Amino acid sequence: MHTKLILPVVFLSFVCGGMSVHAAGAGLPETVEISAGIYVSSSPDLGDAPDDIVGEYYVCHEGEESRVRFSKMDDGTYSAQVIWVRNRLDENGNVRLDEKNPDKSLRNVECDKIVLIEGLVYDVKKQRWSGGKIYDPIRGIRANATCYFSPEGVLNVKGSLMGFSETVHWKKEK
C-alpha cells in the first residue's frame, strides 16, 4: 500500500546548487511531488530581488479577465502592460478601446495593449516596488502604485489616491 505524506513546508528554494527547505506551515496553494511521495511547495521566495516582479500574471478584476506582462524598462523602472483580454471584442465584433482614459490621445489604444503600471522602483529595505502610477481602465482613474508579494507568491497591487486605496491580487504565471 502506498501512503502519501504531506509536510507543512512553505518554500523550496535552490541555493548554490543545493536545496534549501524552509518550514513554517501548511495550507499551501502549490505543491510538487518528490519521488518518495512527499509534497513540498514550489513557490520561490518572490520579492527578494528587484526583477522578481518581471513576468506574466493572470488578472481578474471587476469581471474582466486578462494577462499582464511586467517588464524592466531601460531606465531601471518596472512597467506592466495588458497582453490578453478574455472579451476583447465588443457586441459589434470590434476590438474594445480604452475609451475612459483621461489622456484623450490614448483612447484609441486597444484593450489588450493598455499600459497599466509605469515607473515602479524597487525598495530593497521594504522588499516592494513603489513610486509609480497605476491606471484602472474600467474606471478611467490613475493612482499611486505599490506592489509586493505575499508569502504565497501572489503579487499584491495597491492603488492609492486621495487617502483611498484598493489592493488587487495578481497570480504570476511565467
Mean pLDDT across the chain, nearest whole number?
A: 76
Q: How far apart are CA 156 and CA 148, in angstroms?
A: 5
Of 153, 162, 157, 136, nearest to 145 by C-alpha is 157
pLDDT digits 0-9 by tens, 106-143: 999 999 999 999 999 999 999 999 999 999 998 899 99
For range 65-88, the mean pLDDT? 94
Q: What pTM was estimated for this model as a whole?
A: 0.69
pLDDT digits 0-9 by tens, 52-75: 999 999 988 778 889 999 999 999
The runs of H, that is alpha helices, within the chain are none
Which band of pLDDT confidence, cut at 50, 70 and 90, is reported for residue 46?
low
Which band of pLDDT confidence, cut at 50, 70 and 90, is reported for residue 152?
confident
Domain with CATH 2.40.128.520 in the chain: 50-172
**Residue 163: what pLDDT?**
87
Which band of pLDDT confidence, cut at 50, 70 and 90, is reported for residue 14?
very low
Residue in the block written with cell 514550489: 42
Which band of pLDDT confidence, cut at 50, 70 and 90, is reported for residue 48?
low
In this predicted model, which residue has the larger pLDDT, 146 or 49? 146
The topology under which CATH files domain 50-172 is: Lipocalin (2.40.128)
In this predicted model, which residue has the larger pLDDT, 46 or 138? 138
